[in-house]
A and B are shown apart, each in its own frame.
Chain A
Amino acid sequence: MKVSLFISCFNDMLFPQTGRAVVSVLERLGHEVAFPLEQTCCGQMHNNSGYGPEATALMRRFADVFADAETIVCPSSSCVVTVRVAYPRLAAATGDQQLIARIADLGARTFEFAEFLVKKLGIEDVGAYYPHRVTYHSTCNSLRGLGLGDAATRLLSHVRGLDFVELPRADECCGFGGTFAIKNADTSIAMLTDKLAAIRGTQAEICTAVDNSCLMHIAGGLSRERSGRRTLHLAEILASVEGGVAA
């Protein structure tokens, strides 16, 4: 299948290794990956912070860049939720019937990476090897926005060598929430503190998820703890093979 990658501005600048891992897994599975260089940002932050007009402009841009893409895959559930859930509302607000139709079609073609593998391709074993103790945080957007279900943990269950431990209260927000983490830093940190305690309790070396934004928040706390625990995007675990990371 020909897959167009939407990497998200956040991953592009801060977590390029996640993008490389996605490419590596998809190519290993025999897919052809395209990366439209005109892409930038889906407008999630603008939309969520109340900057509707700016978000609408970025939505139009996104629709143009991916106009010809057959299938769009993105390793960030919050960006996919923006495309699938927020875009139709932004489009509806413009009253532009043509745009509304284009956006509906766009949403139907856009998938989160784990969702794409499990739900669209029906693949749970991607041939990965990762000999570490891992726990999984189901980020709010993947859990409630996307309805990802157990797609990510199913993928993890087929990774050889991996020792999976369930995270207590995994479905609770880590306190990131984009600008919330800055505007309401104290509350955000209080939420993070409980999340870190839960992770500590699992004795896992790695906390994984399908959103680098939440993981960056969690990693920021873990690194202050100096516990030796760290975070890693699910795609990077799936890209690992015996004899080293293929990414």
Chain B
Amino acid sequence: MSVDSPGIIVERAFPAAARDALRDSQLRRNIGKATNTIRAKRKAVVAEMPDWQDLRDAGYAIKRDTLRHLDRHLLALEASVTAAGGTVHWARDGEEANRMVGDILAGHQAKEVLKIKSLTTDEIGLNGALSARGIEPIETDLAEVIVQKGHDRSSHILVPAIHRNRAEIREIFKRELPDTEHLTDEPRDLADAARRYLRQKFLTVPYAISGANFAVAETGSVAIFESEGNGRMCLTLPRVLISIMGIEKVIPRWADMSAFLQLLPRSSTAERMNPYNSVWSGTRAGEGPEEFHLVLLDNGRSDVLADEPARDTLNCIRCSACLNICPVYERTGGRAYGSTYPGPIGAILTPQMNAPPSPADSLPFASSLCGACYEVCPVKIDIPRILVHLRGKVVAARGAKTALDGEALVMAAMARVFENPRLYALAHKAAAIGQVPFIRDGAIKSLPGPLAGWTAMRDLTPIAKQSFREWWKARDR
């Protein structure tokens, strides 16, 4: 996928992309190390909270009720943002949102614009769209700087450069940033180099773009929680601030924030609290931005909302706990998922944002359904359940297109066998005989066709000569 295209267009099916990632030993090491560290930390800070399960329930309840009346809450948000001196824009899709943001900036003759790390802008490919209009987006989150300067794509929703190690980052900075001849790969040195580059930008560029962690309908307040403080620089220094949020990010009341202020940091960075929590409401004379725009983005979210079994997908607060716990993500890394949203949340969100048939149809199958993601999710999204629901949609859509689908045929045949105990007993006999040519030393070591993947590294247990039911019948007599 090209760096500038919208970040939800999946170009390769997961198994193929994963195969490449699995071969990259450096990537596997980097990601394995990082996820294992953050996993342990998250576990420890969550264990400190005796009411964690109650908090999860509260977070889930707020999200569920908000989504049920989403239209109402969004209209309330628009009213309060407008009353506070901001302007609200409604964008049906990414293209529309990109045009709106570009128009606002072009209206000010902007040549550069600061950016706070935002998945939503990545999802719609905002950076590419702005560059095409001659406006250069400047990422200000340290990891995003690494990704942007490395002409790379993010591989984690919270730690976009999780796939890079220090030595690789040093090389990128030396190539792309000024005054880096003597740069070492010490984290401090690397951070200093980025800081020098960013400081100059903060002080000279008067435009900024942010995403939003939450927006409060009642007050029109938008909130960003972050670790570095670079986001806060973008929120306070520039004259014009544009925030883009998916429509599901609204919460009804100010009081609802307290649950998420506890759930989010512990789940994501394993911190008790985010170091920087910024909340702003509209504009105010002599302080902060003079102009504030809020872009409300749909981009397929209404469709997710309408699909009841999948609706909880929109509960996601993008904490990334599910990525860090996922055994599949741990081995393949984020880019195998092919979109802005990797890991378990990506496996359910991305296919819902791509019209089938698409390589994204492979994502609901990129899971062993182990359930670890559901267990950690702070807003209780039953990801395995949604995966199965989406698998059903893929199978149904495919079934309608090609009657001669090998897998569908096998599944249908097996269902027929299982529905008839006589056929079932016959099938056992046939299989027990059919497998004979493949058995060596009591195990099946290689199989042809679609089952070859199994025997590439694993032996297969042969079908027993005497099934249990045959034994039972013989014993009964």
Q: By the criterion CB–CB under 8 Å, are A14 and B473 in contact?
A: no
Specify which chain B residues have a CB less than 8 angstroms from the CB of A183 in the assembled complex.
15, 365, 453
Q: By the criterion CB–CB under 8 Å, are B385 and A43 in contact?
A: no
- Distance in angstroms from A246 CB to nearest chain B CB is 14
**C-alpha gap A59/B419 in the complex (Å):** 10
Task: In the complex, identify which listed stretch (B78-86, B155-163, B410-418) lies at the interface while the others stay far away.
Answer: B410-418
**In this assembly, does A151 line the interface, its C-beta being within 8 Å of a C-beta of chain B?**
no
Q: Which of B371, B424, B458 contacts A220 (CB 8 A)?
A: B458
Q: By the criterion CB–CB under 8 Å, are A220 and B461 in contact?
A: yes
- Distance in angstroms from A83 CB to nearest chain B CB is 15
**In this assembly, does B374 line the interface, its C-beta being within 8 Å of a C-beta of chain A?**
yes
Q: By the criterion CB–CB under 8 Å, are A51 and B460 in contact?
A: no
Q: By the criterion CB–CB under 8 Å, are B415 and A58 in contact?
A: yes
Q: By the criterion CB–CB under 8 Å, are B454 and A50 in contact?
A: no
Q: Which of B388, B392, B443, B469 contacts A37 (CB 8 A)?
A: B469
**In this assembly, does A221 line the interface, its C-beta being within 8 Å of a C-beta of chain B?**
yes
Specify which chain B residues have a CB less than 8 angstroms from the CB of A108 in the assembled complex.
none
Q: By the criterion CB–CB under 8 Å, are A217 and B458 in contact?
A: yes
Q: By the criterion CB–CB under 8 Å, are B461 and A38 in contact?
A: no
Q: A144-B375, A173-B368, A190-B22 are in contact. Are A51 and B395 (CB under 8 A)?
A: yes
Q: By the criterion CB–CB under 8 Å, are A176 and B374 in contact?
A: no
Q: Which residue of A lies closest to B441 (CB)?
A: A223
Q: Which of B388, B411, B417, B458 contacts A192 (CB 8 A)?
A: B458
- Distance in angstroms from A47 CB to nearest chain B CB is 7
**C-alpha gap A86/B309 in the complex (Å):** 13
Name B's interface SS: helix
Q: By the criterion CB–CB under 8 Å, are A144 and B327 in contact?
A: no
**C-alpha gap A50/B384 in the complex (Å):** 12
Q: Which residue of A lies closest to B450 (CB)?
A: A182
**In this assembly, does B98 line the interface, its C-beta being within 8 Å of a C-beta of chain A?**
no
Specify which chain B residues have a CB less than 8 angstroms from the CB of A182 in the assembled complex.
450-451, 453-454
**In this assembly, does A94 line the interface, its C-beta being within 8 Å of a C-beta of chain B?**
no
Q: Which residue of B lies closest to A191 (CB)?
A: B327
Q: By the criterion CB–CB under 8 Å, are A13 and B467 in contact?
A: yes
**In this assembly, does A181 line the interface, its C-beta being within 8 Å of a C-beta of chain B?**
yes
**C-alpha gap A197/B332 in the complex (Å):** 19
By a beta-carbon cutoff of 8 Å, the part of chain B in contact with chain A is 14-15, 18-19, 22, 28, 327-328, 331-332, 364-372, 374-375, 385, 388, 390-396, 407-408, 411-412, 414-415, 417-421, 424, 428, 431, 443, 450-451, 453-464, 466-473
By a beta-carbon cutoff of 8 Å, the part of chain A in contact with chain B is 7, 9, 11-17, 19-20, 35, 37-41, 43, 45-52, 54, 57-58, 61, 86, 89, 140-141, 143-145, 171-173, 175-193, 216-217, 219-221, 223-224
Listed A/B pairs (23) with beta-carbon separation below 8 Å: A19-B468, A37-B421, A38-B421, A40-B421, A47-B388, A48-B391, A49-B391, A49-B395, A58-B415, A89-B385, A172-B372, A176-B368, A183-B365, A184-B18, A186-B18, A187-B331, A188-B368, A190-B22, A190-B331, A191-B327, A191-B331, A216-B461, A224-B458
